Structure 1
């Protein structure tokens, strides 16, 4: 019989460093921080890594662990999920409350998100404010649908968009706990499940409200007044209006993205909502804003915040808007709607897809599959017409 590669008893007895040591064929020996040893069967299913405990060493010996791993591999080949054993690595001091598991989830996933610091803060704060009172100190294995229902009931009709996000985030944390064998792999928050039977039909009482926007006929008066105000927040807001960009895109714009000679902002994928690079034609008015700004380095932020090297804050443009006397009824993001409405009503010669491309909106369906261009030259003409309109009749 051929000698099997992998672990042997002498090797196992010498292992001191905490970690997972592979024997091959999905079998691993886990050495804990206190020197304890446990067998793990690790496999991938539906795009996720999963673990099954096979018992502690030496109570379960090497050959017995290999035999059990072979049984689990056979189950997987037959499409059967291996049962959860009692030997999975779960230390008494390992955090098992919902709040603790949520922190582990954030530490492992946040770096894959766009704008991770902001997204992490929104995630943590929403669960802290709405879920922790009921779920925070509860062991994840004991959380059931009644607990989730109790979290969502106070806000389901009152603040439905937030409630939907919290429902999804709770589900993600519980799914993560299930992958760690901390709880049964049961999706309490899935659509069409028990939770839907307990919660009222929110769509009957909730109307989705878009961002408040300024009527476009006020723009020729507003933008010249904005242009006359000092401050980086006012400059950023003016640039946002002229480019019809999102606040995040303006805040994280850098000088090396700006081609001032060609009049192009080459916005990279990482700052775009759709995750695709986007070329923005810069009108003479938008270029004038850039040329008037201080420039420390080619890789620095265009609109610099209060701290050296930091981007403009989230609140700076909103504060500039309030200082203009627009405390209610208008939002920074709403200027994209203002531009889109102006294009639809005042530029009847401009096809719909041109205005959508100016907003970096993707064209869906079959049309999107065949349309690979970005209408750049046509969009340049549109954005110059928009800048002319924003300049006002006095200009």
Structure 2
């Protein structure tokens, strides 16, 4: 971007494509084909924005300076400059909510953890609940009544889903505003008009956690589980013994296991907190691993029966519970709660931070800023106690 005050002779001689500054937010843009047009460029909310002031053939240098002065005056009053009538019009395609959502996903998904899954959940939620009202609507025409129409049918009945959809709609509209495709107004903000239209969901909706098995049942349940044949049953046994999440177990590979030190080095990309986690392996957990077939280094430990070489599916371990005729609603993730409750009630000598570290929970605040260790040796003793408790009915 060339910076100098312009004059008519200079403008007539300019041939090289680029933007040439006249100072005070006014620029002359020279296109690849030699075309020349005026731009007013300013900064707002941390990003550059521009307004076209027309072609140099129709708008003189003095007229462009006069218009730029008007726009600067508007900015001093906190008013966004309008798109001038003589400006180069933006392309009309790509202005619907559905189109902007796809653009947003393509530009942001790679920064998310597990981008393919996150993208699918994001797209499907908006397609199922928002597209009927917002999908084909120009983003500049979407108002709070439209957002309310999307959310009100599910605000009380599917409140967690509705909250996610509210946030996602807000993100797409903010993205559109950053592209100057709609007013920079946050329709979904907390405390705004939308909150006045929607009922107080917290008074009628109780957030339900993952159903967990009472820890007292584990000594009977684990031997029954170990009596079943199959990779999914072994994966569930390993999940229980390590208090890990299902994704971490499904994506575990042989090269993450240090048999000599009895450690599972779970990489950051598999962890919810985005931080690598060392898991001490009890003799029971090592026994599960050694019983698994192993073809070569680097493969997944728990391989899908229907897709050789691929990890277990999301529902494989849940299917094991169904085959065991569990009708109490216990979930796979609930076994982490079972472990945490057992520690709280049966291991009174174990500090809270040890139990939280075993679950790979991130400690926040001042405590998190100063705590750098992972209590590994103490956690090893805890996991061995947990394994012994899970098989105590066998003794």
TM-score with structure 2 setting the length: 0.86
RMSD over aligned CA atoms reads 3.3
Is residue 2:362 matched to residue 1:362?
Answer: yes
Paired residue for 1:83? 81
Mind listing any 5+ residue stretches in structure 2 that lack a counterpart? none
What is the rounded CA distance, in whole Å, between the counterparts of 2:5 and 2:260 in structure 1?
A: 63
Is residue 2:376 matched to residue 1:376?
Answer: yes
Paired residue for 2:16? 11
Paired residue for 1:299? 298
Deviations 1:208-267 (A, max 9, x none): 111001111111111122122222222221111111111121122222222111111111
Paired residue for 2:320? 320
C-alpha change, 1:294 and 1:52, in structure 2 (3 Å) is farther
Structure whose CA Rg is larger: 2
Report if the CA contact (8 A) 1:245-1:336 is conserved.
Answer: yes
What is the rounded CA distance, in whole Å, between the counterparts of 1:3 and 1:211 in structure 2?
A: 61
SS of 2:278's partner is strand
Matches within 5 A, 1:253-264: 253-264=252-263
Paired residue for 2:345? 345
C-alpha change, 1:84 and 1:76, in structure 2 (3 Å) is closer
Aligned length: 383
Paired residue for 2:278? 279
Mind listing any 5+ residue stretches in structure 1 that lack a counterpart? 13-20
Deviations 1:19-74 (A, max 9, x none): xx555798695979x99987666666545x34323245455779689959986997
SS of 1:279's partner is strand
Mean Cα deviation higher: 303-312 or 165-174: 303-312
Paired residue for 2:333? 333
TM-score with structure 1 setting the length: 0.86
Paired residue for 1:389? 389
C-alpha change, 1:56 and 1:156, in structure 2 (3 Å) is same
Deviation at 1:313, TM superposition (A): 1.3
Report if the CA contact (8 A) 1:226-1:238 is conserved.
Answer: yes
Deviation at 1:320, TM superposition (A): 1.5
What is the rounded CA distance, in whole Å, between the counterparts of 2:247 and 2:308 in structure 1?
A: 18
C-alpha change, 1:55 and 1:168, in structure 2 (3 Å) is same
Report if the CA contact (8 A) 2:42-2:48 is conserved.
Answer: yes
Matches within 5 A, 1:166-181: 166-181=165-180
Mean Cα deviation higher: 314-323 or 252-261: 252-261
SS of 1:393's partner is helix
SS of 2:153's partner is helix
Deviations 1:300-343 (A, max 9, x none): 32222343443221111111121111244200100000000111
Paired residue for 1:17? none
Is residue 2:51 matched to residue 1:53?
Answer: yes
What is the rounded CA distance, in whole Å, between the counterparts of 1:31 and 1:298 in structure 2?
A: 56
Is residue 2:202 matched to residue 1:203?
Answer: yes
Report if the CA contact (8 A) 2:253-2:301 is conserved.
Answer: yes
What is the rounded CA distance, in whole Å, between the counterparts of 1:375 and 1:185 in structure 2?
A: 48
